[in-house]
Amino acid sequence: MSDTQDSDKADKTLENVIILLGITPTDSEKERLTLYIDHAEQAIVLYLGRSVRISGLPSGLDYIVENLAVTKFNKFHNEGEKSHSEEGLSFQFNVNDLAPYYPDLQAWIDGQANTTRGATAIGW
């Protein structure tokens, strides 16, 4: 993907996250969201890289990045907590935000099994 395509994709991802949050973010919130998006992409690539060779975020998994960024944004100032209550409103947080997406990621890995693992050779 070219730098322009990468930039367009990043802009679209940020736009989608803002829509999901239903906010008009400040510049600092946009910077934080961009960082959350980058971290989500890195986490997915790291997880998938344990099973298959990949060089970047596979297409079709953008929704996971967007949902992870929303989750992180909503946990801001509550990092490290398992739950948070305020004025009768209670939130339960996952310790591992990626865990709910393991079945989706495994399905993607399983779909790659015939195309990447069969072509792998090990030599000295």
Stated pTM of the model:
0.76
Give the SS3 label for residue 106: helix
Asked, for residue 48, whether it belongs to a domain, the answer is: yes
Q: What is the pLDDT of residue 102?
A: 94
Asked, for residue 86, whether it belongs to a domain, the answer is: yes
Q: What is the pLDDT of residue 65?
A: 97
Asked, for residue 122, whether it belongs to a domain, the answer is: no
Asked, for residue 26, whether it belongs to a domain, the answer is: yes
Q: What is the pLDDT of residue 84?
A: 66
Asked, for residue 8, whether it belongs to a domain, the answer is: yes
Tokens 């934080």, residue?
A: 32
8 A C-beta contact, residue 28 and residue 36: no
Q: What is the pLDDT of residue 4?
A: 73
Asked, for residue 64, whether it belongs to a domain, the answer is: yes
Structural domain count of the chain: 1
pLDDT tens digit at each of 124 positions of the chain? 566 767 788 899 999 999 999 999 999 999 999 999 999 999 999 999 888 888 889 989 999 999 999 999 988 866 666 676 778 877 676 678 999 999 999 999 998 876 655 444 445 5
Asked, for residue 81, whether it belongs to a domain, the answer is: yes
Angle formed at CA 18 by CA 85 and CA 75, multiple of 5 degrees: 25
- For residues 95, 41, 68 and 31, what is the CA-based torsion angle, rounded to 10 degrees? 110
Helices 27-49 & 62-74 angle (0-180, nearest 10):
130
Asked, for residue 119, whether it belongs to a domain, the answer is: no
Task: List the domain range (segments joined by +) for residue 106.
Answer: 3-114
Q: What is the pLDDT of residue 78?
A: 62
Nearest C-alpha neighbor of 61 from the set 81, 86, 40 = 40
